[in-house]
């Protein structure tokens, strides 16, 4: 996590430059994940005021001890029970003589915006567009290390599921095992509710696990990830538990070819829509273009879905330090679906596939 000392925190230094360029005097950070990113504080219900010279974290007595441990040296404003957090913000803004206050427009609710404006009736409240999210796109060494740990936890859980797969297990049982194994090995849990779809249910890109048993068809799609110290991983594999229909094998081979083609394109400066096209064109050529109805991938970090996004309309270059998923899919309602997903780090020399779960068709065979 980030250091709470502004002098040794490059994230805050970069943020201050963005605030200055926007014309605001300060920024009120109300997105709890962004507060964590900037300070290392892992609680919630707390805001951070970033001024040109210092930072103030507004919280409540529940977190006093935790803040002393996680954020030594950070100026704190601990409100007493019954005192609204905006009242403490108002006093700090007045004391700092802030005339223009930036707020996080991508995440602040309309209700909170109106309450803040009412409290700060003599201050110009200026929406700014995702300053902290911009910084979060580029992972530093610590974030990359935490992501590797999240990947290792996810891969260990999947290996246990694969080795112990039984025909009488339900989708929900697989979901529960993944979550248990991640927590048992030190993770906070899954990075999102796992997607487990047997047979035709694999055609639901975000299907919810149910009581369908593994033995009810010859394949199962599993999309899962782990949360380690708030950083996320995200993988998808399809396991074959019986003789796969010829159509299913062709879908799998095409999907894998598409994924490998896209990964090959990843390097600094590569345009995101071109990476998406590399995969999409393979699937379209095979006749399933209309069956790939989502973007190719997304960034991940403190959130499971965060910027950047690999999509057909994203005309931005990849940069060193970005971590993105590459997850093409082919979905045929009533029959089934394939998605193959890995986590990729953009490096100065090209890219690194951070995930290592095997994915050839032969390696996805499981004997029940």
What is the block-wise mean pLDDT of the chain (368 residues), using blocks of 10 residues? 66 96 97 97 96 95 94 94 94 96 95 96 94 97 98 98 98 98 98 98 97 98 98 98 96 98 98 98 98 98 97 97 98 98 98 98 96
Distance of alpha carbon 76 from alpha carbon 63, whole angstroms: 11
State how far the alpha carbon of 249 is from the alpha carbons of 245, 253, 288, 334, 348, in Å: 6, 6, 14, 16, 36
Q: Write down all domains in the chain, each with its CATH number in brackets.
A: 6-136 (3.40.350.10), 141-364 (3.90.230.10)
| Residues, the chain | 368
What pLDDT, on a 0 to 100 scale, did the predictor assign at position 4?
Answer: 53
Q: Which one, of 33, 42, 9, lies nearest residue 301 by Cα?
A: 33
To 5 degrees, how large is the angle CA 266–CA 268–CA 274?
50
What pLDDT, on a 0 to 100 scale, did the predictor assign at position 8?
Answer: 72
Distance of alpha carbon 137 from alpha carbon 132, whole angstroms: 9
| Residue the block writes with tokens 């109805």 | 293
SS3 331: strand
Give the pair of three-digit tokens for residue 345.
């780090």
State how far the alpha carbon of 333 is from the alpha carbons of 37, 95, 205, 216, 246, in Å: 40, 60, 11, 17, 17
Helix axes 246-265, 272-285, angle to 10 degrees: 160
3-class SS letters over 248-270: HHHHHHHHHHHHHHHHHHCCCCC
Q: Do 55 and 75 contact (CB within 8 A), yes or no?
A: yes
b or e along 289-326 (b: 16 or more beta carbons within 10 Å of the residue's beta carbon)? eebbeebbbbbbbbbbebbbbbbeebeeebeebbbbbb
Cβ within 8 Å of residue 51, ≥6 positions away: 25, 26, 96, 98
For 184-205, how does the pLDDT look when each residue is reduced to its tens digit (9 = 90+)?
A: 999 999 999 999 999 999 999 9
Distance of alpha carbon 349 from alpha carbon 175, whole angstroms: 37
State how far the alpha carbon of 328 is from the alpha carbons of 118, 235, 241, in Å: 47, 12, 22
Distance of alpha carbon 134 from alpha carbon 114, whole angstroms: 25
SS3 108: coil
Distance of alpha carbon 98 from alpha carbon 290, whole angstroms: 53
Q: Which one, of 307, 299, 300, lies nearest residue 106 by Cα?
A: 307
Q: Which one, of 102, 92, 46, 89, lies nearest residue 71 by Cα?
A: 46
What pLDDT, on a 0 to 100 scale, did the predictor assign at position 330?
Answer: 98
Give the predicted TM-score (pTM) of the model. 0.95
SS3 358: coil
Give the pair of three-digit tokens for residue 1.
């996590």
Distance of alpha carbon 225 from alpha carbon 196, whole angstroms: 12
* Count of CB atoms situated within 10 Å of the CB of 160: 16
Q: Are strands 336-339 and 329-332 parallel, antiparallel or unpaired?
A: antiparallel
What pLDDT, on a 0 to 100 scale, did the predictor assign at position 6?
Answer: 54
What pLDDT, on a 0 to 100 scale, did the predictor assign at position 322?
Answer: 98
Residues paired with 352 in a beta bridge: 345
């Amino acid at each position: 996590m980030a250091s709470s000392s502004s002098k040794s925190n490059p994230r805050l230094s970069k943020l201050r430059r963005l605030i200055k360029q926007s014309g605001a005097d300060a920024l009120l950070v109300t997105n709890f994940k962004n507060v964590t990113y900037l300070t290392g504080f892992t609680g919630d219900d707390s805001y951070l005021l970033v001024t040109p010279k210092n930072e103030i974290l507004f919280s409540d007595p529940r977190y006093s001890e935790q803040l002393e441990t996680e954020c030594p040296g950070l100026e704190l404003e601990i409100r007493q029970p019954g005192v609204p957090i905006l009242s403490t913000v108002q006093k700090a803004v007045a004391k700092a003589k802030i005339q223009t206050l930036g707020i996080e427009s991508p995440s602040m609710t309309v209700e909170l915006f109106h309450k803040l404006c009412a409290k700060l009736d003599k201050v110009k409240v200026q929406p700014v567009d995702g300053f902290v999210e911009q910084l979060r796109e580029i992972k530093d060494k610590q974030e990359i290390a935490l992501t590797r740990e999240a990947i290792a936890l996810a891969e260990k859980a999947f290996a246990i599921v694969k080795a112990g797969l039984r025909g009488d297990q339900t989708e929900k049982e697989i979901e529960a095992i993944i979550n248990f194994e991640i927590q048992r090995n030190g993770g906070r849990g899954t990075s999102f509710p796992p997607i487990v779809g047997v047979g035709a249910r694999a055609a639901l890109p975000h299907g919810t696990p149910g009581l369908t048993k593994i033995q009810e068809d010859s394949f199962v799609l599993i999309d899962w990830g782990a949360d380690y110290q708030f950083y996320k991983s995200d993988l998808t594999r399809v396991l074959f538990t019986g003789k796969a229909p010829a159509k299913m094998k062709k879908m799998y081979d095409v999907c894998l070819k598409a994924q490998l083609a896209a990964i090959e394109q990843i390097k600094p400066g590569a345009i995101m829509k071109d990476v998406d096209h590399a995969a999409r064109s393979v699937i379209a050529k095979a006749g399933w273009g209309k069956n790939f109805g989502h973007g190719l991938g997304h960034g991940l970090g403190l959130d499971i879905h965060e910027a950047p996004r690999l999509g057909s309309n994203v005309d931005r270059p990849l940069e060193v330090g970005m971590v993105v998923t590459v997850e093409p899919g082919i979905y045929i309602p009533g029959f089934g679906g394939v998605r193959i997903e890995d986590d990729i780090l953009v490096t100065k020399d090209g890219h690194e596939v951070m995930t290592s779960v095997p994915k050839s068709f032969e390696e996805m065979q499981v004997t029940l």
